[in-house]
Amino acid sequence: MELIRQLMHIWLGIFLLAFYVFFGSYSTLLLVALLFLLSLLFVNFCHVGWCPIGLIRLERPLLGVGLIYYMAALLFLLSYSKIYPSVFIATLIALSVGDSSATFVGKLFGKHKLFGQKTLEGTIAFFIVTSLALLAGGYPTYFAITVAFFSALIELLSPINDNIIMPLGTAFVIYLMCILPIFL
């Protein structure tokens, strides 16, 4: 089930990125707002025992909150995407491929626990995959490495659900990189 959930995480990120590129920030904002409302309904239906698909294990507390956090973070970032499009795009890349690769590698190969369920192997995978994805997206090397490093660190150390902390923290790091003269 976790594999399917993470593949959906990646797919959603790639889909939203393509949608953003082809249709712009306003249309993407409307789509994410609609997805946010649908995710609220979906999670509420699953909590009352009427879950349409088997991707959610109802015995876990606060289940589906990650989906709501994911959508809420994207809504927030999209509201600033007209001013700083690279903040939204780079954060979406890190959230989609970095977070999922950390989960895959951490669960399959993770032997060195760092914090809670987070592993050294998963954190390294997050850094490498996010760096490569940002480089493939045309970002400069210093940008890709810096964003990947801080995103992986934020994901590793997030005390609550990383679907809200990681994108907001990553966006803040990218924003600082956009305005501070040492990165220009």
- Higher-confidence residue of 51 and 90: namely 90
DSSP 54-107: TT--TTSTTTTHHHHHHHHHHHHHHTTTTT-HHHHHHHHHIIIIIHHHHHHHHH
Helix (H), strand (E) counts: the chain? 7, 2
Query: pLDDT class for 46, splitting at 50, 70, 90?
Result: low
Query: pLDDT class for 149, splitting at 50, 70, 90?
Result: very high
Query: pLDDT class for 40, splitting at 50, 70, 90?
Result: confident
Model pTM score: 0.83
**Dist. CA 78–CA 85, nearest whole Å:** 8
Please tell me the predicted confidence (pLDDT) of residue 184: 54
* Cβ atoms within 10 Å, residue 114: 15
Domain ranges of the chain: 2-183
Sequence-ordered list of residues with C-beta below 8 angstroms from that of 122, at least 6 positions apart, any chain: 101, 102, 103, 104, 105, 106, 107, 110
Taking only Cα atoms into account, the Rg of the chain, rounded to an integer number of angstroms, comes to 16
Please tell me the predicted confidence (pLDDT) of residue 51: 61
